């Protein structure tokens, strides 16, 4: 039996529960906050529309036209057409919404994890099986 460790080992960072104003900064961690969601609203609405098979077909028939219909910004449309997953996140996509497009392409969440971390899907999967990735 060891002595109970502190709830969370701290590194001298602020522990305030009620900080307001400044944005959260956790390295390597996109925070899907209100400003991000504002930026991504049109993109996320389009991705949400892929719940219906009919819409998936219409998108497949004319991807750029479908993006225009939903009012995406040009760089958002480009990210969708290029399947630039990192750019979609940077331009306001929520990972749960972006994943809908990945699923249509037959891509897994491990594939996306590999893209976000510069690994192949297999390498990323192996890191998860080995117990997951840590900070740093």
Q: Residues interacting with other proteins, by CB under 8 A?
A: 5, 7-8, 14-19, 24, 26-34, 37, 40-41, 44-45, 47-48, 50-52, 56, 89, 94-97, 99-100, 103-104, 108-110, 112-113, 116-118, 124, 127-129, 131-135
Shortest CB 119 distance to other proteins, Å: 9
Would you give the end-to-end CA distance of the chain in angstroms? Answer: 30
Shortest CB 75 distance to other proteins, Å: 18
CA 41/CA 109 separation, integer angstroms:
22
**Angular region, 84: left φ>0, alpha ψ -120 to 50, beta rest:** beta
Closer to other proteins at the Cβ: 50 or 78? 50
């Amino acid at each position: 039996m060891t002595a109970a460790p502190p709830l969370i080992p701290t590194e001298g960072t602020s522990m305030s529960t009620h900080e307001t104003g400044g944005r959260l900064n956790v390295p390597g961690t996109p925070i899907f906050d209100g400003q991000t969601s504002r930026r991504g609203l049109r993109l996320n609405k389009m991705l949400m529309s892929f719940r219906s098979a009919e819409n998936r077909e219409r998108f497949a028939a004319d991807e750029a036209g479908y993006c225009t219909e939903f009012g995406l910004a040009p760089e958002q449309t480009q990210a969708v057409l290029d399947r630039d997953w990192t750019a979609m996140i940077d331009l306001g996509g929520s990972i749960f919404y972006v994943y809908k497009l990945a699923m249509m392409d037959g891509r897994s969440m491990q594939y996306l994890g590999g893209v976000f971390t510069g690994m192949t899907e297999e390498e990323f999967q192996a890191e998860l099986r080995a117990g997951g990735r840590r900070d740093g």
